[in-house]
């Protein structure tokens, strides 16, 4: 064979066998640092960043400053194709700044990043790199940034055996069998991702707590993780099973007022802090869904939280006590139970306790009104808990950008103590002057190469981090940032993907639980419809929530029903209680209505329900057509993967539509509107389908 032919064969063989670029796998998330395509912009950036000064209070090198230097060096090498041209120096700053505050000043080829701590310099470094990735001007910058909320964390529902409750992206990131001796390099990349968004805390284990994580063996493993995370400003927190003094300490009870129990927790706190000196504290789920708690001893949630708060207080730790409590033995509306239990305890928690409240009063539904606890406990620090993982929104097989959902609650006006008292201003301490402020997101990370199960799901991780830093950011702004950093600055990619992201949450609501319908998914896995579910605990069944019969559908939460509207300030509650002012999106959440109820559109309730389901499917079909415009604009791997994702989403949307409309039709006895497509299969066909089941998403009865 001629030499030239051999050479060509070798080149072809190399191209076929070479590993695919990481950029197309999604591993690099929004930190791709691809070379800037615009030659002029690249030259301008090169000139503007000849010298970078990292100014800290001490002016000394540290692991955190080393992390900032590494990130800047790697990023500039990728973005600008340069390395030696950048002169990085460390200087001492005398500028008084908060511990997480930074300034970014540039001009005459020099960029000065000044921080109130080494970590804030790291945050400033990531801010600069974000601006470069977004092709924003940087010469002449003079900005000052600080987070609005002090504790910004991910809550992982990872189990000791490597599974993830409500996880849809493979197995747990944490390899407990290898720790503490072996540290997966992915731990550092995880920490980089958190720091790039300004997140500063992680709870690596499930709130349905396993006592093993408080044993000496596992505390050493936790300490090894904390050592990796520390340079990136990330504190580790732990969940704890309330009965640990009995199960580990062999005490006869776990009564929070028992002297032996008090001593056990103080000793355990001392043990943890000896290994992890910057340990953040405990996250506790108690007296909910079978978890033990202080009520087993006729004590209150405040008694239970204060016990742990006193144990960690000498070390600067906090206790995050979840308000997700409901009891099947309580006859009252499940949506009211957390309010009923916690409002009487306002002012009885220690200052280092924060009560963590889900965004809505049920359980991360596709749409809920804001939780009535927000604004109702002025003497208590309240945290907002949202779910990044898509437990009720399609797992990893459906696109659903969640920033609009979170903005709904952040921007909601509680009217307590006055109009303009938004949930965002409750949780950031503005309204009631609390220093301890927390926001938490239930993580959607896993061992999948793309971290979150599909190429678009990391948008929610990114959006949570950006809103945790600044709740005033808009959903569209965040969507564009993520798109430009993750996919491309090409106008075709931005103009196609951002509108898809922005429409996705409403589409999922439309084809799954429109007009305020909620909690009608299949039991356990929550990844598809099950409006017929009527077995097990009543307050976990679909029929408990939709209350369908031949007369109508919906949950009456007005004064004629459960009066859940009475738990809100009158300005909000009265709006929802009045059919003339209740928005359509909350209609069946607060009202039970007949099938022929006339909507604002002039159509009947039955017709609107059917058309919402159909509209959701039509929206997904529109995305598929729009996505075709990106063929050749983005890499083939991510183009094809997303194309398949949207195909799957259309299929699952049709199942939701066909199941729910046919099920409700057996009660309404009314024909479907002409605009509605005929179902693919009869209802009995869907009722016999097996539930989705994977190793990392085993059906469970708890909903966390």
Q: What is the pLDDT at residue 688?
A: 87
The series of mean pLDDT values per 10 residues for the chain, 704 residues long, is: 42 34 77 94 93 96 97 95 78 94 97 98 98 96 98 98 97 98 98 98 98 98 98 98 98 98 98 98 96 97 98 98 94 97 98 98 98 98 98 96 98 98 98 98 98 98 99 98 97 98 98 98 89 94 98 98 98 98 98 98 98 98 98 95 97 97 97 92 91 42 56
Mention the CATH class of domain 26-145. alpha beta
Q: What is the CATH number of domain 151-486?
A: 3.20.20.80
Q: What is the pLDDT at residue 24?
A: 73
Distances (CA, A) of 168 to 386, 447, 493, 697: 17, 10, 26, 7
Could you give the CA distance from residue 287 to residue 226 in angstroms, rounded to a whole number? Answer: 29
> 704: closest CA among 530, 555, 526, 550?
526
**pLDDT tens, residue by residue, 22-55:** 347 999 999 999 999 999 999 999 999 999 999 9
Q: What is the CATH number of domain 509-555+592-687?
A: 3.90.1330.10
* Segments making up each domain of the chain, as ranges: 26-145, 151-486, 509-555+592-687
3-state helix, strand and coil shares in percent for the chain, rounded to the nearest 5: 40, 10, 45
Active site residue 391: yes
Q: Is 503 helix (H, G, I), strand (E, B) or coil?
A: helix
127, 341, 391, 448: the active-site residue = 391
User: Which contacts of 248-256 are long-range, i.e. CB under 8 A and separated by 24 or more positions?
Assistant: 248/211, 248/214, 248/215, 253/297, 254/292, 254/296, 254/297, 255/294, 255/297, 255/299, 256/294, 256/297, 256/299, 256/303, 256/304, 256/306, 256/307
Q: What is the pLDDT at residue 283?
A: 98
Kindly give, in sequence order, each residue whose CB lies less than 8 Å from that of residue 297, ignoring residues fewer than 6 positions away.
Answer: 253, 254, 255, 256, 257
Q: What is the pLDDT at residue 697?
A: 37
Could you give the CA distance from residue 71 to residue 65 in angstroms, rounded to a whole number? Answer: 10
71, 127, 289, 481: the active-site residue = 289
Q: What is the pTM of this model?
A: 0.95
Equal CATH topology for 26-145 and 509-555+592-687: no
100, 118, 363, 650: the active-site residue = 363
Q: What is the pLDDT at residue 501?
A: 98
């Amino acid at each position: 064979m001629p030499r030239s032919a051999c050479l060509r064969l070798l080149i072809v063989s190399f191209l076929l066998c070479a590993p695919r670029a990481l950029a197309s796998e999604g591993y690099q998330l929004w930190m791709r640092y691809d070379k800037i395509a615009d030659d002029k912009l690249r030259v301008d950036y090169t000139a503007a960043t000849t010298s970078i000064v990292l100014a800290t209070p001490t002016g000394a090198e540290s692991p955190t400053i080393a992390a900032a230097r590494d990130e800047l060096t790697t990023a500039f090498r990728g973005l600008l194709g340069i390395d030696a041209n950048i002169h990085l120096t460390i200087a001492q700053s005398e500028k008084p700044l908060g511990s997480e505050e930074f300034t970014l000043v540039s001009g005459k080829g020099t960029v000065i990043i000044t921080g109130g701590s080494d970590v804030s310099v790291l945050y400033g470094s990531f801010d600069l790199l974000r601006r470069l990735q977004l092709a924003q001007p940087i010469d002449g910058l003079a900005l000052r940034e600080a987070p609005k909320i002090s504790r910004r964390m991910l809550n992982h529902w990872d189990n000791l055996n490597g599974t993830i409750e409500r996880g849809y992206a493979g197995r747990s990131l944490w390899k407990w069998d290898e720790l503490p001796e072996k540290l997966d390099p992915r731990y550092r990349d995880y920490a980089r991702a958190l720091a790039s968004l300004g997140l500063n805390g992680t709870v690596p284990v499930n709130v349905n707590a396993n006592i093993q994580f408080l044993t000496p063996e596992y505390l050493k493993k936790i300490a090894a993780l904390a050592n990796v995370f520390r340079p990136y400003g990330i504190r580790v927190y732990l969940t704890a099973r309330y009965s640990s003094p009995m199960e580990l300490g062999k005490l006869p009870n776990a009564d929070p007022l028992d002297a032996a129990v008090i001593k056990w927790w103080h000793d355990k706190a001392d043990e943890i802090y000896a290994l992890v000196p910057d340990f953040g504290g405990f996250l506790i789920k108690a007296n909910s869904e079978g978890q033990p708690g202080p009520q087993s001893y006729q004590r209150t949630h405040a008694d239970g939280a204060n016990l742990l708060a006193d144990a960690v207080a000498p070390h600067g730790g906090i206790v995050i006590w979840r308000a997700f409590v409901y009891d099947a033995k309580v006859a009252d509306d499940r949506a009211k139970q957390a309010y009923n239990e916690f409002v009487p305890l306002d002012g009885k928690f220690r200052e280092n306790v924060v009560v963590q409240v889900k965004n809505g009063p049920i359980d991360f539904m596709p749409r809920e009104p804001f939780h009535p606890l927000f604004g109702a406990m002025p003497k208590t620090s309240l945290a907002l808990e949202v779910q990044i993982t898509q437990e009720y929104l399609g797992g990893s097989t459906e696109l659903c950008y969640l920033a609009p959902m979170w903005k709904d609650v952040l921007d909601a006006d509680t009217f307590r103590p006055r109009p303009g008292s938004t949930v965002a201003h409750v949780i950031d301490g503005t309204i009631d002057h609390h220093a301890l402020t927390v926001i938490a997101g239930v993580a959607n990370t896993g061992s999948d190469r793309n971290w979150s199960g599909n190429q678009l799901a990391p948008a929610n991780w990114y959006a949570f981090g950006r809103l945790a830093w600044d709740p005033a950011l808009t959903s569209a702004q965040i969507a564009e940032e993520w798109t430009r950093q993750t996919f491309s600055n090409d106008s075709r990619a931005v103009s196609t993907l951002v509108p898809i992201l922005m429409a996705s949450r409403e589409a999922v609501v439309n084809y799954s639980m429109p007009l305020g319908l909620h909690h009608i998914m299949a039991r356990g896995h929550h990844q598809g419809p099950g409006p017929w579910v009527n077995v097990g605990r009543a307050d976990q069944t679909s029929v408990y929530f939709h209350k369908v019969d031949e007369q109508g559908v919906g949950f009456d939460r007005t004064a004629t029903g459960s009066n859940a509207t009475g738990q809100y300030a009158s300005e909000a509650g009265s709006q929802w209680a009045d059919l003339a002012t209740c928005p359509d999106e909350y209609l069946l959440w607060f009202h039970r209505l007949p099938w022929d109820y006339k909507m604002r559109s002039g159509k009947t309730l039955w017709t609107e329900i059917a058309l919402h389901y159909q509209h959701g499917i039509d929206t997904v079909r529109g995305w598929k057509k729009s996505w075709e415009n990106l063929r050749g604009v983005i890499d083939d791997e991510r183009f094809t993967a997303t194309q398949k994702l949207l195909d799957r989403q259309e299929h699952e949307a049709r199942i939701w539509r066909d199941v729910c409309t046919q099920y409700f039709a057996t009660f309404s006895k009314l024909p479907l509107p002409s605009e509605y497509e005929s179902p693919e299969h009869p209802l009995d066909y869907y009722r016999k389908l097996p539930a989705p089941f994977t190793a990392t998403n085993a059906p469970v009865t708890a909903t966390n």
